Amino acid sequence: MHEAYEVSHLLNGAVQIESIAAFDNNLLLGTRQGHLLMYSLSTGNDNNQKYEVQILHYCKTFSKKPIQQIEVIPEDNLLLCLTDSILSTHSLNGSNFPVVKTFEQTKGASLFALDNKLYYGKNGEFKQHLFDFTIPDVPKVMAWGQQFLCVGFKAEYVLYDLSSGKPKELFPTSSSRSLEPTVAKYSETSFLLGREQTSVFVEEAKDSTIEIKQTIKWKEAPTCVVWDEPYILGLLQDKVIVQSVEPERFIQTLNEPNRARLMYRYVQDKVIVQSVEPERFIQTLNEPNRARLMYRYVQDKVIVQSVEPERFIQTLNEPNRARLMYRKSRKQNLQQENNIAIEVLKTKYFVELPT
């Protein structure tokens, strides 16, 4: 069976990670102790060690409280951080990540979602949105759409109209038991929302209505879901499940990230997974050893072979009477780091078969 992702262990460590962010060739880790770590990753020369990881900064005095959430605005070398229930921006140019601005009006915050359209790009400032939304509970997950802000609460999902501030209730997270909500941004206008053992595909329509298109089924309710085109990844208790959306199909099971807690997708083909035993970081790999896979179109099927070593991999019978086949190339930039065990997921090839 074709493996969409490979796993690479990079680092082991004992710190308790609460948040992850990554950009370019850098990885940032926020810990429960309030420490902030920054690593770089480069390709190693030793065949037995794919990556060389180097610590760049280790700030033990960043915060006195757990670092709840971090995101990076790379073009301005800014770090957006939520700690002690207040939001602030920090410079990435100093070893101690100096504060640029603290947003006092966010005191009591439990979560944020970054939208660069609301960022001024000067002195770490953000625009004040037109509306203050009244919410019924503490948000668990959030994601920006084009017309709506999608918010997942413990009991239900709600879309808040960005032009009027009015809420649109969608559906409960579960009909029978209490489950944490999950949201994965599928596109600028669509989301994958967790409901029991499914991920529901919800899309914004042009007339400000909402369409529920399909559901993706899981063996059990995932604790986290990310979209990494063309795959959707679900984080279960002791594994990561990889599926395709169109068509809906099981692709792969990754058993190595035992008791994983966090999963973070930051660029195409790169997904970080941090687990408890041991602490790990998972990243998508670059194309290993020349092109690993070769696709041949033969009559009503596609034959998949590996190049090095040369061997048969898989027959795809679905593209009945397909006429064209092409490979959508992807350049993968290696990046990551960590002092806490690291692994990585990574897609190899994507084939489209127009009929």
- Does the residue 152 lie in any domain? no
Q: pLDDT tens digits, residue range 248-301? A: 899 999 887 667 788 888 777 778 788 766 544 544 433 333 333 444 444 455
Rounded Cα–Cα distance for residues 27 and 42 (Å):
12
Q: What is the DSSP string of 37-97?
A: EEEEEEE-SSTT--EEEEEEEEETTS-SS-EEEEEEEGGGTEEEEEETTEEEEEESSSTT-
pLDDT level of residue 2 (50, 70, 90 thresholds): low
Q: pLDDT tens digits, residue range 171-189? A: 998 877 778 999 999 999 9
Mean pLDDT across 27-40: 93
- Does the residue 285 lie in any domain? yes
- Does the residue 195 lie in any domain? no
Is 252 within 8 Å of 239 (Cβ atoms)?
no
Say what the pLDDT of residue 120 is: 57
Residue 116 is given by DSSP the state: G
What's the domain range around 59?
A: 17-140+222-352
- Does the residue 180 lie in any domain? no
- Does the residue 172 lie in any domain? no
- Does the residue 184 lie in any domain? no
Of 72-76, 83-87, 276-280, 304-308, which range is least confident?
304-308
Split into its structural domains, the chain has a count of: 1
- Does the residue 214 lie in any domain? no
- Does the residue 2 lie in any domain? no
